[in-house]
Amino acid sequence: MIPGQIQQALSAFFQQQQHADFQILSSRPLGGGSINEVHLLITTLGSFCLKYNNNASFPKMFETEARGLELLSGAGAIRVPKVIFQDDLSDYSFILLEFINSANQTNTFFKDFAHSLARLHRSKSELYGLDYNNYMGSLSQNNCYHTDWVDFFVEERLDKQVKLALHKGLLDQSGERLFEKLYLRLSELLPEEPACLVHGDLWSGNFIVSENGKACLIDPAVYYGNREVDLAMSTLFGGFSPEFYNSYDEEYPLIPGWKERLDLYNLYPLLIHLNLFGSSYLGSILSILRRF
């Protein structure tokens, strides 16, 4: 059952915006609801995706999701769900999105996906970061602007999660020293490229195959960073088709050695998982650190 407070807000929105009566005819849970409640709404005005949570649990989560989706959409490179309405109520926060009907992948799905992502990455910024903070999963993601990529990656990505893991007792001082040793080498390991718009959480659970058989991105953790972070994240938890990486490199050639750098970038999502889900991720983190 969708909370009455949200139903009332949706009804008032559609009455004001479209002068139309909005009623929910049926709803059912959708996958991906580990952080939020996610539902398909069948209504008198069509089908929508509704995501909501307790207003106090994750402040501005849906506000920043809406801004992130709109930023990705504005690049005109790849489809994202249209944001219909977002609001923060006394008890709940929610976002109402276009519902994307899923279909089978086309034969050129990963090739087309790669080309679209490469075009997204051609959206540039003079600075690394973003003018607001957002979320990576259920953890706050700091996006303070930096002029240097390595500084941004260390200060706004790795070190904040390292300190959180230390506070939680998930990482000890020997692990911290391995990170500090790595920080000193990152300028020689990570080449500089102009900051580009990245999805930020690009794994296989964060795209939908839309009704035309092509990729639609969801659940962004956007900022302007190094494009290799998206490619790196895509290799976790199963990875994408080899055709994806070959097609990306054809569309927007990568700096040689990019495959060897992916594990470095994946330290960030692995630290996120360590802090969210516990010590089962520590071995992978230490294995990467010891190689560098």
106 Cβ partners below 8 Å, 6+ apart? 112, 212, 213, 214
CATH code where residue 40 lies: 3.30.200.20
- Residue 124 maps to a domain: yes
How many domains are there within the chain?
A: 2
In the predicted model, residues of the chain with pLDDT beneath 50 are: none
Mark whether 36 and 163 lie in a shared domain. Answer: no
Mark whether 63 and 143 lie in a shared domain. Answer: no
Last residue of a domain, one of 57, 78, 98: 98
- Residue 82 maps to a domain: yes
- Residue 271 maps to a domain: yes
Last residue of a domain, one of 37, 65, 98: 98
pLDDT at 1: 86
Mark whether 33 and 155 lie in a shared domain. Answer: no
Where in the sequence numbering do the catalytic residues fall?
201
- Residue 104 maps to a domain: no
Mark whether 67 and 87 lie in a shared domain. Answer: yes
Mark whether 127 and 266 lie in a shared domain. Answer: yes
Residue 160 CA to residue 154 CA, distance in Å, equals: 8
Q: What token pair was written down for 149?
A: 């990529």
Mark whether 119 and 244 lie in a shared domain. Answer: yes
- Residue 151 maps to a domain: yes
Last residue of a domain, one of 70, 98, 126: 98
Q: What token pair was written down for 5?
A: 């407070």
Q: What token pair was written down for 30?
A: 């959708």
Q: Domain range spanning residue 91?
A: 4-98
106 by DSSP, 3-state: which?
coil
Beta-strand runs (E) in the chain:
24-29, 37-43, 46-54, 83-88, 92-98, 124-125, 134-136, 139-141, 195-198, 207-209, 215-217, 223-225
Q: Which residues are bridge partners to 95 per DSSP?
A: 51, 86
pLDDT at 33: 60
CATH code where residue 175 lies: 3.90.1200.10
Mark whether 36 and 122 lie in a shared domain. Answer: no
154 by DSSP, 3-state: which?
helix
- Residue 103 maps to a domain: no
The answer to whether 200 and 230 are in contact (CB under 8 A) is yes
pTM over 0.75: yes
Mark whether 174 and 43 lie in a shared domain. Answer: no
pLDDT at 96: 98
The answer to whether 171 and 165 are in contact (CB under 8 A) is yes
Mark whether 24 and 149 lie in a shared domain. Answer: no
